[in-house]
Structure 1
Amino acid sequence: MPAILISLRWLTVLPLLLGLPWAAVQALDAATIAAQGNGRGAAPCVTCHGVDGVGQAAMSSPRLAGLNAAYLLKQLDDFASGARDNPIMTPLATALGTDERQALAEYYSQLPLPEALRASNNITQASIDSVGAILATRGRWSDSIPACEQCHGPRGIGVGAHFPPLAGQPSSYLASQLRAWKEGQRRNDPLGLMGHIAEKLSDSDIDAVANWFAFVTRPIGDKEETP
């Protein structure tokens, strides 16, 4: 047996021999998968999402660090089942076992946000009056578009398992998802809410609100809200 496979197997067995709780073993497994893949077709998560799970704007890869574990698990399960389609994530999620998806969701939910995402000094009057800010905080009721913050919380902090944080996500990722909902390519949200909203947004609206949430950050110490 190759030495690398032996060492990976010992990464799982050794904590049990040392009497560590199973949660710690799961965390270790998830960290290994995130950094090295699972050896069965799932590539390392860090390739796209970064070592700290903060995503990569150039690849339109989202931040995973600090997101709700139930939300992360649902997305992985949806990729695996085909309810959400992505040419990269679908085969990766399919190659992960149920326990591995659960462990990864818990692992990324516990990763801290980088300090840059927790600053709170970048809001100016000009940005507050921008199209993106208006859509995010007030909506556009003349077109039956509610404020994003009504579901995703103040400044896009995120609410529970169904409404993930938007603040600090790469604008390229947010825009790509809004366009996917608008074009009917993504449908795995509660009651089809996002599809109904996105279809009323123009391309310039999408870019504006995506740029706003990529720009806005939440105050230090704030955590994702729960319903």
Structure 2
Amino acid sequence: MRRQDFLTHLVDLIVNVTDDHPVRVAVDGPDTAGKTTLADELALALSGVRPTIRASVDDYIRPLEPTVPAAGYFDDNFDLPALITGLLIPLGPDGDRNYRTADDTTDIAPPNAVLLVDGVFLLQSALRPYWDIGIYLHINEAEMLRRGVLRDHTDYGSPDAVRQQFETQYIPGWRTYETQHSPSATATLTVDHQDPTHPKIQHRTT
């Protein structure tokens, strides 16, 4: 599927939700899968169609020790209660639409708003009840590592340092998540994102 057709499909999916509260959309996937890029593209595509609120799970990140085990990367890296109480509950079916972002900015969302949140581990069981749409971007581990080296080698100082980070934290942490929470099976849409220019929708749950 061409990228533009893919984006049009997602926009149609979002705007056709008829709930009387903002549509809460999760863009999930492993590190380097293209989550932030897709969420930003969706925000742009929705401009003039629906008011949008952009957030990232990285806004809720806790300080992470360099040697933290993979389980800690998955279990302890994010302040999920702040995400739930600040955004997901207020914008949900019983919420008052008075939301608070991670930087303590507050506002009132119109009923037809769209919340777009990107980040890892968003379809885990603790968060799953709060999403109206879950998009899961799948790439394999080799592609995760390839993109990670390209993206992070300057920040980490060398390609080898990036590989160590991925091999000791990011990839094992993602394996733990997939095993325990099966995000691809619970997403509204699962997308093969190996080639971002031609995404492939693998399935849609009902």
Whichever of the two has the greater Rg, that structure is 1
Greater strand fraction, Structure 1 or Structure 2? 2
TM-score by length of 1: 0.28
**TM (normalized to structure 2)?**
0.30
Structure with greater contact order relative to length (CA < 8 Å, sep ≥ 6)? 2
Q: Which has the higher helix share?
A: 1
